Amino acid sequence: MTRRREVIKAGLATLAGAQLASVWAADKSKDKEPPLRLGPLTTKPVPSTGERLAVVGLGTNNYSPATPEERAARREVVAALTAAGAQVIDTAPAYRQSEEVLGELMADIGNRKQAFIATKVTAPEDDLAKGKAMIEESMRRLKTDTLDLLQIHSLNGVNVLFPHLNELKSKGKVRYIGITTSSGSQHARMVELINSQPLDFVQVDYSLGNRAAAESVLPAALAKRVGVLINLPFGGRRDGNLFSRVAGKPLPDWAADIGAKSWSQFFLKYVVSHPAVTVAIPGMTKIAHLEDNLDAIRGRLPDAAMRARMEKFWDQNYDA
Ligand SMILES: NC(=O)c1ccc[n+]([C@@H]2O[C@H](COP(=O)([O-])OP(=O)(O)OC[C@H]3O[C@@H](n4cnc5c(N)ncnc54)[C@H](OP(=O)(O)O)[C@@H]3O)[C@@H](O)[C@H]2O)c1
């Protein structure tokens, strides 16, 4: 038996092993061994039910592969995510082929049951019929009869969609309902909705370089026991994101105190250690990025004092 197999075997035996093994076995390809980096992922409970979720999931607004190679790379990420014991996959009808690609990949991999699918809906011009049709279409593309989380995308449709979403939830077609934004200009409205609607989740932009949500949305969600997904944990995919600001710069020595071995781990540990945050959903199209990001939640997370130190460090060195 090779060293690699021994390590894998030991990991499977000591962790949530049975689950991991069966999930991996469900990957019909059988062309890849499980990832080497095994270890329990940090989880948090969904406030409304207590269901535990790994605190890092997958954002898929870049899941419209242009080549077979790009598609294979995304398949590898989707398979490895659930094989490692993480669940949340965030998508939306607005993300071009994302829902369709995910539906096909999950059917091929056989991991729909292990995944927690969060998609979105809008009601343009407050047209409820358009929203209803969009939900049907999402379920068809995702090849699923139930959605784990259905979110009103960027608050587009909050005047008309809630009764329908609540009805879908009561019928068991949707397990959780929520709202999203990625813009500070919508945070105040989001707080109003947290305080006036029966929500399971909100999804909001938050990172070490963009902490506005911590002033309003995050405390409101914590107080009302609403779960929180975090989008743009790295400041997005474009130039100007957190990675571009630290390019070529070393981590501070004390990053080792929280087990951060890369800038992405430094950024993610900061985000998921906020008490209101349930799951961060970084966009990832590369297996190396998934492994790096899951490693961030296999070790220590910063406490309040360390979070304050990270903020001060960022503001002194990288706040443009
Ligand atoms: N209003 C809304 O509801 C809303 C708005 C925006 C976003 N979202 C959701 O939030 C998700 C996350 O946002 P986002 O993807 O735009 O931005 P993001 O998560 O802040 O950044 C994603 C970028 O980080 C890179 N990356 C990931 N892990 C890395 C690592 N370990 N090292 C180096 N680079 C790494 C990715 O590269 P690779 O792709 O090459 O792996 C990608 O370019 C979206 O995918 C979407 O699901 C929702």
> pLDDT (tens digit, 9 = 90+) per residue, 271-308?
999 999 999 999 999 999 999 999 999 989 999 999 99
Specify the amino acid at residue 243: F
Burial of 78 (0-12, 13-18, 19+ CB in 10 A): buried
* Residues 91 and 14 occupy one common structural domain: no
CA quadruple 234, 236, 239, 245: dihedral, nearest 10: -20
Fill in the DSSP letter of residue 155.
Answer: G
* Residues 56 and 33 occupy one common structural domain: no
* Residues 24 and 64 occupy one common structural domain: no
pLDDT greater than 70 at residue 216: yes
* Residues 307 and 164 occupy one common structural domain: yes
Q: Give the residue among 147, 154, 149, 297 at the shortest CA–CA distance from 226.
A: 149
* Residues 8 and 69 occupy one common structural domain: no
Model confidence band, residue 2 (pLDDT cutoffs 50, 70, 90)? very low
Q: Which residues line ligand 1 (CB under 6 A)?
A: 59-62, 90, 153-154, 180-182, 203, 231-237, 243, 264, 281-286, 289, 292-293
Q: How far is the CA of 58 from the centre of ligand 1 (A)?
A: 8
* Residues 296 and 201 occupy one common structural domain: yes
Domain of residue 251 covers: 41-317
Distance CA 124, CA 121 (A): 10
Q: How far is the CA of 235 from the centre of ligand 1 (A)?
A: 8
* Residues 313 and 179 occupy one common structural domain: yes
* Residues 19 and 131 occupy one common structural domain: no
Q: Whose CA is nearest to atom 4 of ligand 1?
A: 182
pLDDT greater than 80 at residue 7: no
* Residues 33 and 57 occupy one common structural domain: no
Model confidence band, residue 38 (pLDDT cutoffs 50, 70, 90)? low
Report the percent of the chain where pLDDT is more than 70. 88
* Residues 64 and 31 occupy one common structural domain: no
The count of structural domains within the chain is 2
Domain of 263, CATH number, reads 3.20.20.100
Taken in order 179, 183, 187, 189, the sign of the CA dihedral is: negative
β partners of residue 283: 59
Spatial CB neighbours of 98, under 8 Å, sequence gap ≥ 6: 60, 61, 63, 64, 91, 92
b or e along 226-245 (b: 16 or more beta carbons within 10 Å of the residue's beta carbon)?
bbbbbbbbbbbeeeebbeeb
* Residues 165 and 257 occupy one common structural domain: yes
* Residues 30 and 74 occupy one common structural domain: no
Mean pLDDT value across residues 38-49: 93
